[in-house]
Amino acid sequence: MKRLIIIAFCLLFAMTGTAWAGLGVEFDWAANTETDLAGYNMYRSEVDGGPYAKIGSSTTTGYTDSTTEFDVTYFWVITAFDVEGNESGYSNQVSNMTGTPIPPDTTPPGTPQDINVTVHITIGN
């Protein structure tokens, strides 16, 4: 299993991501301590520096992007938003190329060898 840790720091929080081929990308970050914080928005792009598209929101300091595809490089940023809907600027960008899936095993097992046969013949009435 391929594992990659990505760390980015910004003024509000630090965000880390871990990629597992076929399982999506998990993120967690340090909490924003503002008293009117309502949550965080996650954004993603396939282009370094954006433009980014919003892919989801979280009210906790974690998010899983389960819509990634194999062998694609993605770039993510997050924002914080408050109860009035005000949104912060983007965090520092983190990126990762998702892993290549492991191909299915299509090789048959080896042919049995050294087979012995015993024949018992019973003759009777």
The CATH number of the domain where 74 resides is what? Answer: 2.60.40.10
Return the structure tokens found at 64.
């899983």
Q: Per-residue confidence at 81, pLDDT binned at 50, 70, 90? A: very high
Strand segments (E) across 1-125: 5-9, 14-20, 24-29, 37-45, 53-58, 62-65, 73-82, 94-97
Residue 123 lies in a domain: no
Contact 39/81 with Cβ under 8 angstroms? Answer: yes
Residue 60 lies in a domain: yes
- The domain in which residue 37 lies consists of 5-97
- Is a pLDDT exceeding 50 seen at residue 21? no
Residue 66 lies in a domain: yes
Q: Round the average pLDDT of the chain to a whole number and report it.
A: 78
Return the structure tokens found at 11.
């003024």
Contact 57/44 with Cβ under 8 angstroms? Answer: no
Residue 48 lies in a domain: yes
Total domains in the chain come to 1
Residue 108 lies in a domain: no
How far apart, in Å, are the Cα atoms of 11 and each of 30, 96, 110? Answer: 11, 22, 59
